[in-house]
Structure 1
Amino acid sequence: MAQWSKVAVNPLPWVMDSGAFILNEETLGQAMKELSDAGFNALHSDPPQGMSPEAYRAFLAQFGFRPAPGYFSAELHSLETRPEVIDAARAHARMIAELGLTETFVAADIDFPRLIRPAIGRGGSPERTKVIAETLALAADAAAAEGVRFALHPHIATPIETEEETRQVLDETAGSALGFGPDTGHLEWAGMVSEQIIGDYSDRVIAVHLKDVDGAAKEIATRYTDDFMSATAVRHIWTEPGRGKINFNAVFDALPASFNGWFVVEVDVPNLDTAFASSKESHDYLARHPRFEVAA
């Protein structure tokens, strides 16, 4: 049985502060000090504004980190802005390639009506999803020309949220350069069975985000029709891998035997008391798991 060693972490618990997104050297430096103590040595790639890829790699190296796949999002359902989206996708791919990476996650921008009523596909339509799929195929092909594969990342509160939307995009982009970059937490919250949809598109999975879902929190958030922020920041629907309802053994078994992509831990809002405790628990779960070769 092959063991996986390409494990990274997203520093979102440090970068997000009361809804604000604070991405600077000071914040990232503090995050990497604590994440290093937690056992991680690779970081989700998102250089602070104005920092070149070369400078970013050097900055990570100061803390013993290397870059891992990043995240590109855009307004994908507008034909009017499609040329700008393709240009931005190309620029992101070029940055990712300069970091020495060959893959990155891609998602649609936040859809504000779905922030209010998440995980039910509010306001969606096959017609809108078809436009999104066409844009993603073009963006993925543009990124591939830069040596980078885009991995579709279904995300709660975006126009690619539900199983129907996810499958439509993947089916309509078959034959393009677009791969699949599932996030176990977002799949579960949207009502999907992670191992089932990952298994159905296993030949296109090139990277995975790992987070778990607190079953009790999800049930309460659904019962009270919570908005996205209430469900995540108040109910703490996200939790660390191995502490929730997702069957990760089944998820890992659903991946092809040849899979050698990145796993990025991303517990946006920790369920444990501190960001460090959350990251330490996530790291230690993978270090204990027989499918991973991760230093304890």
Structure 2
Amino acid sequence: MKVSCHFITWGEELLTALEEASDLGYQACETFTHLALNYEDRIEEFQELMNKYGFQLSALYGGGNFTDIEKRDYIVKRNAQVARFIKANGGDRIVFGPGGPRREGGTTLEELKIAAETMNLAAKACDEIGVKACLHPHINTEIETVFELDTMMELTDPKYVHFCPDTAHLKRGGMDPLEVIKRYSDRIAYVHLKDISPEEVDEQTFPILSGNEQMPIFCELGLGTISDEIVDIVGYLKEINYDGWLTVEIDKSTSTPYKSLEICRNFVQNRLKLEL
């Protein structure tokens, strides 16, 4: 397995993210898609930037409002555009994030049928470029619950639509992450690792509270409520010889981006027994 990290906590500061993550020993990343596509017409410049810090691109985020049939053509073209950039920079994974906001009552079977048709088309377009599309269930979107995930996995073509489990989003969506991962183990092509913030928190562990900011839903690996589950999940992935990316992702740092990624690095090395 290979370890990557997401630069989300650095916001628009791609250069700072590369510098600091490199200092911590990371060698692969996801970044915001719009930041990467700023270099769409300057591929060599982007590659030189990544090479300067010893990084490779593990994936970029794509997807869209798959249930909106009027957006079908745009979704297919947009994801193909992102896939071409990924491929040009040595990557072969695109994360298919579903659209939001979530509608009251969730997504109906008829809507999921539309979503599956669109996703199949977009994933096939990415596959033809040489990039695997990985469905990522996500809270507060059209694909959040076990019914929505299972329906999409049933209706989509396993040749083109792969699976990107996110430990925290599966849990917050009411699922048992390890159970879901076992059920779809043959379709896993990318993984997001994140922890869920505990209800009882203090300023010493989470400095964000000292500024009277609200605690984010997700937190650094090892500081949350599903740390042990993450250890079990990675243990299972080792058992089945999963050899793809494990990407550390924190939506919002509870201290500083550098410190957050350092905490995650220590968890990856000490608890998960993985090297960067």
Tell me which interval the TM-score lies in, with the shorter structure as reference length.
Answer: 0.7 to 0.9
Which of 13, 24, 36 lines up with 2:22 in the alignment? 36
The CA distance in 2 between the partners of 1:290 and 1:75, in whole Å, is 35
> Mind listing any 5+ residue stretches in structure 1 that lack a counterpart?
16-21, 115-120, 219-232
Deviation at 1:127, TM superposition (A): 1.4
Deviation at 1:49, TM superposition (A): 4.2
Residue 208 of structure 2 corresponds to: none
Change (3 A) 1:137 1:254: farther
**Does structure 1 residue 245 correspond to structure 2 residue 231?**
no
2:232 partner SS:
helix
Residue 285 of structure 1 corresponds to: 267
**Does structure 1 residue 103 correspond to structure 2 residue 103?**
no
Matches within 5 A, 1:45-194: 45=31, 46=33, 47-52=35-40, 53-111=43-101, 113=102, 122-194=105-177
Deviation at 1:122, TM superposition (A): 4.2
> Mind listing any 5+ residue stretches in structure 2 that lack a counterpart?
202-212
Which of 208, 227, 246 lines up with 2:191 in the alignment? 208
2:29 partner SS:
strand
The CA distance in 1 between the partners of 2:175 and 2:241, in whole Å, is 24
2:70 partner SS:
coil
Change (3 A) 1:290 1:189: closer
Does the aligned pair in 2 maintain the 1:238–1:270 contact within 8 Å? no
Greater shift in the superposed pair: 78-87 or 233-242: 233-242
Q: Structure 2 counterpart of 1:249, which letter? A: V
* CA displacement 1:17-43 (0-9 Å, x = unmatched): xxxxx3xxxx11112222222221211
Q: Structure 2 counterpart of 1:162, which letter? A: T
Change (3 A) 1:123 1:164: closer
Which of 10, 14, 18 lines up with 1:14 in the alignment? 10
Deviation at 1:106, TM superposition (A): 0.8
Residue 235 of structure 1 corresponds to: 215
Identity of aligned residues (%): 29
The CA distance in 2 between the partners of 1:290 and 1:142, in whole Å, is 35
Does the aligned pair in 2 maintain the 1:144–1:177 contact within 8 Å? yes
The CA distance in 2 between the partners of 1:73 and 1:191, in whole Å, is 22
Compute the RMSD of aligned alpha carbons: 2.0
The CA distance in 2 between the partners of 1:159 and 1:290, in whole Å, is 32
2:94 partner SS:
strand
* CA displacement 1:73-98 (0-9 Å, x = unmatched): 22211222212211112222111111
TM-score, normalised on structure 1? 0.81
Deviation at 1:174, TM superposition (A): 4.0
Deviation at 1:57, TM superposition (A): 1.8
Q: Structure 1 counterpart of 2:83, which letter? A: A
